[in-house]
Amino acid sequence: MRPITLLLFIGILISVCSCRSDFETTASTGDLTFSKDTIYLDTVFTNIGSSTYRLKVYNNSKNDITIPTIQLAKGLNSKYRMTVDGMQGNNGKIFSNVDLLAKDSLYIFIETTANIADANPADFLYTDQIQFDSGVNLQKIELVTLIQDAIFLYPKRFADGTTETLPIGDEKIDGFFLDENDPVNGNELHFKNTKPYVIYGYAAVPSGKTVTFDAGSRVHFHANSGLIISNTASINVNGAVSTTDKLEKEVIFEGDRLEPDYSDVPGQWGTIWLTNGSTNNTVNHLTIKNATIGLLVQNNDGTTVNIKNTQIYNCANYGILAQTAKINGENLVINNAGQASLACSYGGNYKFTHCTFNNNWNSSEQVAVFVSNYITGAVPEVKDLTAATFNNCIIYGSYSTEMILKKKTGAAFQYQFNNCLLKFDNISNTFTTNPDYQFGTDTAHYNAIILNKDPKFYKVSQNKFNIDDTSAAFAKGNSAYLIPLDIIGNTRTLPPDLGAYQNKPFPK
Protein backbone atom coordinates (compact mmCIF):
# COMPACT_ATOMS: atom_id res chain seq x y z
CA MET A 1 0.00 0.00 0.00
CA ARG A 2 2.88 2.34 0.67
CA PRO A 3 3.75 2.77 -3.04
CA ILE A 4 0.10 3.51 -3.83
CA THR A 5 -0.05 6.08 -1.02
CA LEU A 6 3.16 7.67 -2.22
CA LEU A 7 1.89 7.94 -5.79
CA LEU A 8 -1.39 9.42 -4.56
CA PHE A 9 0.52 12.02 -2.50
CA ILE A 10 2.70 12.95 -5.50
CA GLY A 11 -0.40 13.30 -7.71
CA ILE A 12 -2.07 15.61 -5.20
CA LEU A 13 1.13 17.67 -4.90
CA ILE A 14 1.39 18.06 -8.69
CA SER A 15 -2.27 19.03 -8.88
CA VAL A 16 -1.85 21.70 -6.22
CA CYS A 17 1.34 23.09 -7.79
CA SER A 18 -0.28 23.29 -11.21
CA CYS A 19 -2.87 25.73 -9.89
CA ARG A 20 -0.39 28.62 -10.19
CA SER A 21 -1.36 32.19 -9.44
CA ASP A 22 0.49 33.58 -12.52
CA PHE A 23 -2.75 33.99 -14.42
CA GLU A 24 -4.82 35.31 -11.54
CA THR A 25 -4.55 39.00 -12.29
CA THR A 26 -6.14 42.15 -10.95
CA ALA A 27 -7.33 45.07 -13.06
CA SER A 28 -4.88 47.83 -13.79
CA THR A 29 -5.25 50.80 -11.44
CA GLY A 30 -3.55 53.41 -13.60
CA ASP A 31 -0.14 53.06 -11.96
CA LEU A 32 1.89 52.06 -15.01
CA THR A 33 5.18 53.83 -15.67
CA PHE A 34 6.80 54.43 -19.05
CA SER A 35 10.22 54.91 -20.61
CA LYS A 36 8.94 58.11 -22.29
CA ASP A 37 5.95 60.38 -21.91
CA THR A 38 6.10 61.59 -25.52
CA ILE A 39 7.36 59.76 -28.59
CA TYR A 40 8.68 61.92 -31.41
CA LEU A 41 8.80 59.87 -34.59
CA ASP A 42 10.93 62.56 -36.24
CA THR A 43 10.30 63.83 -39.74
CA VAL A 44 8.82 61.70 -42.50
CA PHE A 45 7.92 62.42 -46.08
CA THR A 46 4.30 62.21 -47.06
CA ASN A 47 3.19 58.59 -47.61
CA ILE A 48 6.65 57.21 -46.71
CA GLY A 49 6.81 54.93 -43.69
CA SER A 50 8.74 55.98 -40.62
CA SER A 51 11.31 54.03 -38.68
CA THR A 52 10.04 51.97 -35.75
CA TYR A 53 10.16 53.52 -32.29
CA ARG A 54 10.05 51.75 -28.93
CA LEU A 55 8.12 52.38 -25.72
CA LYS A 56 8.69 50.32 -22.60
CA VAL A 57 5.81 49.90 -20.15
CA TYR A 58 6.50 48.92 -16.51
CA ASN A 59 4.34 47.29 -13.85
CA ASN A 60 6.17 48.22 -10.65
CA SER A 61 3.48 46.82 -8.37
CA LYS A 62 3.52 43.48 -6.55
CA ASN A 63 0.42 42.30 -8.41
CA ASP A 64 -0.01 40.65 -11.77
CA ILE A 65 -2.35 42.94 -13.69
CA THR A 66 -4.55 43.03 -16.77
CA ILE A 67 -4.68 46.24 -18.78
CA PRO A 68 -8.23 46.31 -20.19
CA THR A 69 -7.27 48.29 -23.31
CA ILE A 70 -4.19 49.65 -25.01
CA GLN A 71 -5.28 51.66 -28.02
CA LEU A 72 -4.62 54.63 -30.23
CA ALA A 73 -6.90 57.55 -29.40
CA LYS A 74 -7.97 57.84 -33.05
CA GLY A 75 -8.76 54.16 -33.07
CA LEU A 76 -8.89 52.36 -36.39
CA ASN A 77 -8.58 55.70 -38.22
CA SER A 78 -5.15 56.42 -36.77
CA LYS A 79 -2.16 56.65 -39.10
CA TYR A 80 0.01 55.10 -36.40
CA ARG A 81 0.28 51.36 -35.87
CA MET A 82 1.68 49.31 -33.00
CA THR A 83 2.72 45.90 -31.86
CA VAL A 84 2.40 45.10 -28.15
CA ASP A 85 4.82 42.40 -26.99
CA GLY A 86 4.69 40.96 -30.50
CA MET A 87 0.90 40.99 -30.73
CA GLN A 88 -0.84 42.69 -33.66
CA GLY A 89 -4.18 43.39 -31.96
CA ASN A 90 -6.94 44.87 -34.10
CA ASN A 91 -5.01 46.18 -37.13
CA GLY A 92 -2.28 47.37 -34.82
CA LYS A 93 -4.62 49.98 -33.33
CA ILE A 94 -6.56 48.40 -30.44
CA PHE A 95 -5.48 45.72 -27.92
CA SER A 96 -7.71 44.20 -25.25
CA ASN A 97 -6.92 42.53 -21.90
CA VAL A 98 -3.14 42.68 -22.00
CA ASP A 99 -1.56 40.82 -19.03
CA LEU A 100 1.53 42.20 -17.34
CA LEU A 101 3.19 40.34 -14.46
CA ALA A 102 4.32 41.97 -11.23
CA LYS A 103 7.66 43.79 -11.47
CA ASP A 104 7.71 43.10 -15.20
CA SER A 105 7.56 45.17 -18.38
CA LEU A 106 6.38 44.96 -21.98
CA TYR A 107 7.48 46.55 -25.24
CA ILE A 108 5.35 48.56 -27.64
CA PHE A 109 6.75 49.30 -31.11
CA ILE A 110 5.24 52.24 -33.02
CA GLU A 111 5.49 53.45 -36.61
CA THR A 112 3.49 55.57 -39.00
CA THR A 113 2.74 56.26 -42.64
CA ALA A 114 0.87 59.53 -43.08
CA ASN A 115 -0.01 62.04 -45.76
CA ILE A 116 0.59 65.78 -45.55
CA ALA A 117 -3.21 66.17 -45.64
CA ASP A 118 -3.42 64.30 -42.32
CA ALA A 119 -1.22 66.85 -40.55
CA ASN A 120 -2.17 70.08 -38.83
CA PRO A 121 -1.92 72.72 -41.62
CA ALA A 122 -0.42 75.26 -39.21
CA ASP A 123 2.65 73.23 -38.23
CA PHE A 124 2.47 70.02 -40.36
CA LEU A 125 2.44 67.87 -37.23
CA TYR A 126 0.45 64.66 -37.10
CA THR A 127 -0.39 63.66 -33.52
CA ASP A 128 -2.19 60.92 -31.62
CA GLN A 129 -2.01 59.18 -28.23
CA ILE A 130 -1.48 55.69 -26.93
CA GLN A 131 -4.16 55.27 -24.27
CA PHE A 132 -3.89 52.75 -21.44
CA ASP A 133 -7.23 51.86 -19.83
CA SER A 134 -9.95 54.51 -19.50
CA GLY A 135 -11.85 56.67 -17.03
CA VAL A 136 -10.05 57.43 -13.78
CA ASN A 137 -7.34 54.89 -14.67
CA LEU A 138 -6.58 56.47 -18.06
CA GLN A 139 -2.88 57.00 -18.83
CA LYS A 140 -1.62 58.53 -22.08
CA ILE A 141 1.55 58.68 -24.15
CA GLU A 142 1.70 61.43 -26.78
CA LEU A 143 2.76 60.63 -30.37
CA VAL A 144 4.15 63.40 -32.60
CA THR A 145 5.37 63.27 -36.22
CA LEU A 146 6.39 66.09 -38.54
CA ILE A 147 5.29 65.41 -42.10
CA GLN A 148 7.02 67.05 -45.06
CA ASP A 149 5.40 67.36 -48.41
CA ALA A 150 7.81 66.52 -51.21
CA ILE A 151 8.20 66.05 -54.93
CA PHE A 152 9.00 62.42 -55.72
CA LEU A 153 11.05 61.51 -58.79
CA TYR A 154 11.43 57.85 -59.75
CA PRO A 155 11.63 55.40 -62.68
CA LYS A 156 8.39 54.50 -64.43
CA ARG A 157 6.74 51.18 -63.66
CA PHE A 158 5.44 49.42 -66.76
CA ALA A 159 2.37 47.21 -67.12
CA ASP A 160 4.48 44.06 -67.42
CA GLY A 161 6.01 44.71 -63.98
CA THR A 162 9.38 45.97 -65.24
CA THR A 163 10.97 49.27 -64.22
CA GLU A 164 12.54 51.99 -66.33
CA THR A 165 16.34 51.65 -66.59
CA LEU A 166 19.36 53.58 -67.79
CA PRO A 167 22.17 52.02 -69.88
CA ILE A 168 25.57 52.37 -68.17
CA GLY A 169 28.15 50.76 -70.43
CA ASP A 170 27.11 47.14 -70.79
CA GLU A 171 24.95 47.31 -67.68
CA LYS A 172 21.53 48.73 -66.85
CA ILE A 173 20.56 50.41 -63.61
CA ASP A 174 17.23 51.57 -62.22
CA GLY A 175 16.94 55.13 -63.41
CA PHE A 176 15.26 57.68 -65.65
CA PHE A 177 15.88 60.91 -67.52
CA LEU A 178 14.67 64.13 -65.96
CA ASP A 179 11.95 65.69 -68.12
CA GLU A 180 11.61 69.45 -68.57
CA ASN A 181 7.97 68.95 -69.58
CA ASP A 182 6.77 66.30 -67.15
CA PRO A 183 2.94 66.29 -67.02
CA VAL A 184 2.92 66.03 -63.20
CA ASN A 185 6.08 67.76 -61.96
CA GLY A 186 6.61 70.32 -64.71
CA ASN A 187 10.27 71.11 -65.37
CA GLU A 188 12.23 68.40 -63.56
CA LEU A 189 15.51 70.02 -64.62
CA HIS A 190 14.82 72.98 -62.31
CA PHE A 191 15.00 72.13 -58.60
CA LYS A 192 13.31 74.86 -56.56
CA ASN A 193 13.34 75.59 -52.83
CA THR A 194 9.58 75.40 -52.25
CA LYS A 195 9.49 71.66 -51.46
CA PRO A 196 12.14 69.00 -50.87
CA TYR A 197 12.74 66.43 -53.62
CA VAL A 198 13.05 62.68 -53.07
CA ILE A 199 14.79 60.66 -55.79
CA TYR A 200 14.50 56.89 -56.27
CA GLY A 201 16.99 55.32 -58.66
CA TYR A 202 19.40 57.40 -60.73
CA ALA A 203 18.04 60.63 -62.21
CA ALA A 204 19.92 61.48 -65.41
CA VAL A 205 20.27 64.82 -67.17
CA PRO A 206 19.78 64.34 -70.93
CA SER A 207 22.57 65.26 -73.32
CA GLY A 208 22.66 68.96 -74.11
CA LYS A 209 20.52 69.89 -71.09
CA THR A 210 21.38 71.61 -67.79
CA VAL A 211 19.98 70.75 -64.38
CA THR A 212 19.75 73.77 -62.07
CA PHE A 213 19.42 73.87 -58.29
CA ASP A 214 18.13 77.06 -56.69
CA ALA A 215 19.58 78.37 -53.44
CA GLY A 216 17.92 76.60 -50.52
CA SER A 217 16.81 73.54 -52.49
CA ARG A 218 16.90 70.18 -50.72
CA VAL A 219 17.35 66.83 -52.47
CA HIS A 220 17.02 63.48 -50.69
CA PHE A 221 18.26 60.29 -52.34
CA HIS A 222 16.92 56.84 -51.54
CA ALA A 223 19.31 53.89 -51.20
CA ASN A 224 21.15 53.09 -54.47
CA SER A 225 20.11 56.40 -55.99
CA GLY A 226 21.93 59.43 -57.32
CA LEU A 227 22.28 61.96 -60.12
CA ILE A 228 23.99 61.43 -63.49
CA ILE A 229 25.19 64.29 -65.67
CA SER A 230 25.33 62.81 -69.17
CA ASN A 231 27.67 63.50 -72.09
CA THR A 232 27.32 67.21 -73.08
CA ALA A 233 24.93 67.80 -70.16
CA SER A 234 25.64 70.20 -67.27
CA ILE A 235 24.92 70.78 -63.60
CA ASN A 236 24.52 74.25 -62.10
CA VAL A 237 24.24 74.46 -58.30
CA ASN A 238 23.36 78.01 -57.28
CA GLY A 239 23.63 77.94 -53.50
CA ALA A 240 24.52 81.09 -51.56
CA VAL A 241 25.81 82.20 -48.17
CA SER A 242 23.34 81.49 -45.35
CA THR A 243 22.85 83.79 -42.38
CA THR A 244 21.49 81.22 -39.89
CA ASP A 245 22.29 77.69 -38.70
CA LYS A 246 19.35 76.45 -40.79
CA LEU A 247 21.53 76.88 -43.92
CA GLU A 248 18.55 78.43 -45.62
CA LYS A 249 20.44 79.26 -48.83
CA GLU A 250 22.68 76.19 -48.98
CA VAL A 251 21.81 73.46 -51.47
CA ILE A 252 21.84 70.13 -49.61
CA PHE A 253 22.09 66.61 -51.04
CA GLU A 254 21.58 63.79 -48.54
CA GLY A 255 19.74 60.52 -47.92
CA ASP A 256 16.02 60.18 -47.35
CA ARG A 257 16.30 58.87 -43.78
CA LEU A 258 15.58 61.95 -41.72
CA GLU A 259 15.90 60.47 -38.23
CA PRO A 260 18.78 61.78 -36.09
CA ASP A 261 20.28 58.27 -35.90
CA TYR A 262 20.98 58.52 -39.65
CA SER A 263 22.39 62.06 -39.65
CA ASP A 264 25.99 60.92 -40.14
CA VAL A 265 25.74 57.34 -41.45
CA PRO A 266 27.91 56.90 -44.60
CA GLY A 267 26.78 55.15 -47.77
CA GLN A 268 23.04 55.82 -47.57
CA TRP A 269 22.88 56.65 -51.30
CA GLY A 270 25.04 56.54 -54.42
CA THR A 271 26.76 59.54 -56.00
CA ILE A 272 26.59 62.68 -58.11
CA TRP A 273 28.24 61.43 -61.29
CA LEU A 274 29.71 63.86 -63.82
CA THR A 275 30.25 61.41 -66.64
CA ASN A 276 32.67 61.40 -69.55
CA GLY A 277 31.95 64.48 -71.65
CA SER A 278 29.78 66.43 -69.23
CA THR A 279 30.49 70.12 -69.64
CA ASN A 280 30.28 73.57 -68.02
CA ASN A 281 29.63 72.18 -64.55
CA THR A 282 29.49 74.71 -61.70
CA VAL A 283 28.83 74.04 -58.02
CA ASN A 284 28.54 76.74 -55.35
CA HIS A 285 27.44 76.39 -51.71
CA LEU A 286 26.52 72.70 -51.89
CA THR A 287 26.57 70.33 -48.93
CA ILE A 288 26.76 66.59 -49.69
CA LYS A 289 26.24 64.13 -46.83
CA ASN A 290 26.33 60.36 -46.35
CA ALA A 291 26.86 59.25 -49.95
CA THR A 292 28.97 56.36 -51.23
CA ILE A 293 30.97 58.79 -53.40
CA GLY A 294 30.09 62.45 -52.99
CA LEU A 295 31.20 63.63 -56.43
CA LEU A 296 32.44 61.28 -59.14
CA VAL A 297 34.05 63.31 -61.92
CA GLN A 298 35.22 61.37 -64.98
CA ASN A 299 37.06 62.72 -68.00
CA ASN A 300 35.00 65.86 -68.51
CA ASP A 301 35.49 67.37 -71.96
CA GLY A 302 38.29 69.78 -71.08
CA THR A 303 36.09 72.46 -69.52
CA THR A 304 36.84 73.07 -65.87
CA VAL A 305 34.48 71.82 -63.16
CA ASN A 306 34.25 74.76 -60.76
CA ILE A 307 33.47 73.69 -57.20
CA LYS A 308 33.32 76.48 -54.63
CA ASN A 309 32.19 76.88 -51.02
CA THR A 310 31.20 73.23 -50.83
CA GLN A 311 31.17 70.70 -47.98
CA ILE A 312 31.23 66.90 -48.35
CA TYR A 313 30.92 64.64 -45.31
CA ASN A 314 30.72 60.97 -44.35
CA CYS A 315 31.13 59.17 -47.67
CA ALA A 316 31.61 55.41 -47.62
CA ASN A 317 34.37 55.51 -50.27
CA TYR A 318 35.38 58.99 -51.49
CA GLY A 319 34.34 62.57 -50.94
CA ILE A 320 35.50 63.49 -54.45
CA LEU A 321 36.80 60.85 -56.84
CA ALA A 322 38.22 62.47 -59.97
CA GLN A 323 39.55 60.44 -62.90
CA THR A 324 41.25 62.28 -65.79
CA ALA A 325 39.21 65.32 -64.81
CA LYS A 326 39.77 69.07 -64.71
CA ILE A 327 38.70 70.71 -61.44
CA ASN A 328 39.13 74.12 -59.87
CA GLY A 329 38.20 73.97 -56.17
CA GLU A 330 37.94 76.92 -53.79
CA ASN A 331 36.84 76.92 -50.15
CA LEU A 332 36.12 73.19 -50.04
CA VAL A 333 35.78 71.14 -46.87
CA ILE A 334 35.79 67.34 -47.08
CA ASN A 335 35.84 65.01 -44.08
CA ASN A 336 35.37 61.32 -43.35
CA ALA A 337 35.66 58.93 -46.27
CA GLY A 338 36.36 55.23 -46.27
CA GLN A 339 39.22 55.51 -48.77
CA ALA A 340 40.10 59.15 -49.43
CA SER A 341 38.44 62.50 -48.85
CA LEU A 342 39.89 63.67 -52.16
CA ALA A 343 41.25 61.30 -54.81
CA CYS A 344 42.74 62.81 -57.99
CA SER A 345 43.48 59.64 -59.93
CA TYR A 346 44.31 58.55 -63.46
CA GLY A 347 45.83 61.88 -64.34
CA GLY A 348 43.98 65.12 -64.97
CA ASN A 349 44.40 68.78 -64.08
CA TYR A 350 43.53 70.05 -60.59
CA LYS A 351 43.87 73.23 -58.57
CA PHE A 352 42.62 73.59 -55.00
CA THR A 353 42.89 76.85 -53.09
CA HIS A 354 41.95 77.56 -49.46
CA CYS A 355 40.57 74.04 -48.97
CA THR A 356 40.38 71.83 -45.88
CA PHE A 357 40.81 68.11 -46.55
CA ASN A 358 40.48 66.01 -43.40
CA ASN A 359 39.82 62.35 -42.77
CA ASN A 360 38.84 60.92 -39.42
CA TRP A 361 37.54 57.61 -40.75
CA ASN A 362 38.03 54.80 -38.27
CA SER A 363 40.69 52.98 -40.25
CA SER A 364 44.42 53.33 -40.74
CA GLU A 365 43.98 52.73 -44.50
CA GLN A 366 42.23 56.02 -45.24
CA VAL A 367 43.88 59.29 -46.30
CA ALA A 368 42.77 62.87 -46.75
CA VAL A 369 44.37 63.36 -50.19
CA PHE A 370 45.42 60.77 -52.78
CA VAL A 371 47.02 61.73 -56.13
CA SER A 372 48.01 59.36 -58.96
CA ASN A 373 48.54 59.21 -62.71
CA TYR A 374 47.36 55.64 -63.27
CA ILE A 375 44.55 53.21 -62.65
CA THR A 376 44.91 49.44 -62.66
CA GLY A 377 43.05 47.43 -65.26
CA ALA A 378 42.47 50.35 -67.64
CA VAL A 379 43.76 50.74 -71.18
CA PRO A 380 45.93 52.77 -71.22
CA GLU A 381 46.92 52.28 -67.62
CA VAL A 382 48.51 55.74 -67.22
CA LYS A 383 47.30 59.25 -68.06
CA ASP A 384 49.10 62.57 -67.82
CA LEU A 385 48.73 64.40 -64.54
CA THR A 386 49.40 67.87 -65.92
CA ALA A 387 48.77 69.63 -62.61
CA ALA A 388 47.79 68.88 -59.03
CA THR A 389 48.24 72.18 -57.24
CA PHE A 390 47.30 72.89 -53.62
CA ASN A 391 47.52 76.47 -52.37
CA ASN A 392 46.83 77.65 -48.79
CA CYS A 393 45.29 74.27 -47.91
CA ILE A 394 45.07 72.08 -44.82
CA ILE A 395 45.52 68.32 -45.29
CA TYR A 396 44.99 66.56 -41.98
CA GLY A 397 43.31 63.65 -40.22
CA SER A 398 43.39 61.13 -37.42
CA TYR A 399 46.25 58.95 -38.68
CA SER A 400 49.94 59.51 -39.22
CA THR A 401 50.03 60.02 -43.00
CA GLU A 402 47.17 61.84 -44.71
CA MET A 403 48.67 62.57 -48.15
CA ILE A 404 49.80 59.92 -50.63
CA LEU A 405 51.33 60.36 -54.10
CA LYS A 406 51.48 57.38 -56.46
CA LYS A 407 52.94 57.52 -59.95
CA LYS A 408 54.02 55.29 -62.76
CA THR A 409 56.38 56.05 -65.61
CA GLY A 410 54.99 56.67 -69.05
CA ALA A 411 52.85 59.72 -68.18
CA ALA A 412 53.40 63.17 -66.68
CA PHE A 413 53.13 63.59 -62.90
CA GLN A 414 53.12 67.30 -62.03
CA TYR A 415 52.22 68.37 -58.49
CA GLN A 416 52.84 71.32 -56.20
CA PHE A 417 51.96 72.22 -52.61
CA ASN A 418 52.27 75.88 -51.69
CA ASN A 419 51.74 77.20 -48.15
CA CYS A 420 50.00 74.09 -46.91
CA LEU A 421 49.69 72.39 -43.53
CA LEU A 422 50.29 68.66 -44.07
CA LYS A 423 50.03 65.72 -41.73
CA PHE A 424 52.80 63.39 -42.88
CA ASP A 425 54.64 61.53 -40.15
CA ASN A 426 57.65 59.76 -41.63
CA ILE A 427 57.40 56.74 -39.34
CA SER A 428 60.56 54.62 -39.23
CA ASN A 429 62.06 56.89 -41.90
CA THR A 430 60.07 55.04 -44.55
CA PHE A 431 59.99 58.06 -46.88
CA THR A 432 63.33 59.66 -46.02
CA THR A 433 64.91 58.96 -49.41
CA ASN A 434 61.69 59.02 -51.46
CA PRO A 435 62.08 61.90 -53.95
CA ASP A 436 58.34 62.66 -53.91
CA TYR A 437 58.29 63.68 -50.23
CA GLN A 438 61.22 66.05 -49.79
CA PHE A 439 59.18 68.79 -48.13
CA GLY A 440 62.08 70.91 -46.96
CA THR A 441 64.39 70.79 -49.98
CA ASP A 442 62.27 70.18 -53.10
CA THR A 443 61.20 73.73 -53.94
CA ALA A 444 59.86 72.66 -57.32
CA HIS A 445 57.07 70.80 -55.53
CA TYR A 446 56.88 72.15 -51.96
CA ASN A 447 56.95 75.70 -50.65
CA ALA A 448 56.35 76.92 -47.08
CA ILE A 449 55.06 73.57 -45.83
CA ILE A 450 53.96 73.18 -42.20
CA LEU A 451 54.39 69.55 -41.15
CA ASN A 452 52.44 67.74 -38.44
CA LYS A 453 51.18 70.80 -36.60
CA ASP A 454 47.70 70.75 -35.08
CA PRO A 455 45.22 73.04 -36.89
CA LYS A 456 43.01 72.87 -33.78
CA PHE A 457 39.71 72.52 -35.58
CA TYR A 458 36.68 73.53 -33.53
CA LYS A 459 34.69 70.25 -33.47
CA VAL A 460 35.79 67.61 -35.96
CA SER A 461 33.14 65.11 -34.80
CA GLN A 462 30.48 67.63 -35.84
CA ASN A 463 32.22 68.56 -39.10
CA LYS A 464 33.03 72.03 -37.80
CA PHE A 465 36.45 72.93 -39.18
CA ASN A 466 36.59 76.51 -38.00
CA ILE A 467 39.90 77.65 -36.53
CA ASP A 468 40.91 80.41 -34.15
CA ASP A 469 44.16 82.34 -33.68
CA THR A 470 45.77 79.47 -31.74
CA SER A 471 45.74 77.24 -34.84
CA ALA A 472 48.97 76.31 -36.61
CA ALA A 473 47.14 77.43 -39.77
CA PHE A 474 46.60 80.97 -38.46
CA ALA A 475 48.04 83.65 -40.78
CA LYS A 476 50.27 81.15 -42.62
CA GLY A 477 48.79 81.63 -46.09
CA ASN A 478 50.28 83.36 -49.10
CA SER A 479 48.33 86.41 -50.27
CA ALA A 480 49.20 85.50 -53.87
CA TYR A 481 46.61 82.72 -53.63
CA LEU A 482 44.02 84.72 -51.69
CA ILE A 483 40.32 83.95 -52.07
CA PRO A 484 38.85 87.16 -50.55
CA LEU A 485 35.91 85.51 -48.74
CA ASP A 486 35.95 82.25 -46.81
CA ILE A 487 33.40 79.43 -47.13
CA ILE A 488 30.81 81.23 -44.98
CA GLY A 489 31.38 84.69 -46.41
CA ASN A 490 33.85 86.11 -43.88
CA THR A 491 36.49 88.48 -45.25
CA ARG A 492 40.00 87.10 -45.11
CA THR A 493 42.72 89.29 -43.63
CA LEU A 494 46.37 89.40 -44.68
CA PRO A 495 48.27 87.21 -44.42
CA PRO A 496 45.36 84.79 -44.83
CA ASP A 497 44.75 81.68 -42.78
CA LEU A 498 45.15 78.27 -44.35
CA GLY A 499 42.08 76.22 -45.16
CA ALA A 500 38.49 77.11 -45.95
CA TYR A 501 37.77 79.19 -42.83
CA GLN A 502 38.97 82.60 -41.70
CA ASN A 503 39.78 82.45 -37.99
CA LYS A 504 37.14 83.53 -35.48
CA PRO A 505 36.89 83.07 -31.68
CA PHE A 506 35.12 79.80 -30.95
CA PRO A 507 31.63 79.99 -29.42
CA LYS A 508 31.61 79.47 -25.66
Per-residue pLDDT of the chain (508 residues; tens, 9 = 90+): 444 544 444 454 444 444 444 457 888 899 999 999 999 998 999 989 999 999 999 999 999 999 999 999 999 999 999 999 999 999 999 999 999 999 999 999 999 999 999 999 888 999 999 999 999 999 999 999 999 999 999 998 888 888 899 988 778 899 999 999 999 999 999 999 999 999 999 999 999 999 999 999 999 999 999 999 999 999 999 999 999 989 999 999 999 999 888 999 999 999 999 999 999 999 999 999 999 999 999 986 678 999 999 999 999 999 999 999 999 999 999 999 999 999 999 999 999 999 999 999 988 789 999 999 999 888 889 999 999 999 999 999 999 999 999 999 999 999 999 999 999 988 777 788 899 999 999 999 999 999 999 999 999 999 999 999 999 999 999 999 999 999 999 999 999 999 999 999 998 7
Q: How far is CA 309 from CA 105, 160, 272, 410, in A?
A: 52, 46, 17, 35
pLDDT value, residue 17: 43
The residue type of 309 is N
pLDDT value, residue 442: 94
pLDDT value, residue 12: 43
Q: What's the rounded Cα separation, in Å, for the pair 348 and 412?
A: 10
Dihedral (Cα; 486, 491, 496, 497), 10-degree rounding: -50
Q: What's the rounded Cα separation, in Å, for the pair 303 and 311?
A: 22
Least Cα distance to 45 among 255, 189, 244, 233 occurs for 255
DSSP 87: B
pLDDT value, residue 23: 55
Least Cα distance to 92 among 82, 77, 84, 78 occurs for 82
pTM for the full predicted model:
0.88
pLDDT value, residue 58: 97
Contacts of 491 (CB under 8 A, 6+ apart): 484, 485, 502
CB count in 10 Å sphere of residue 210: 18
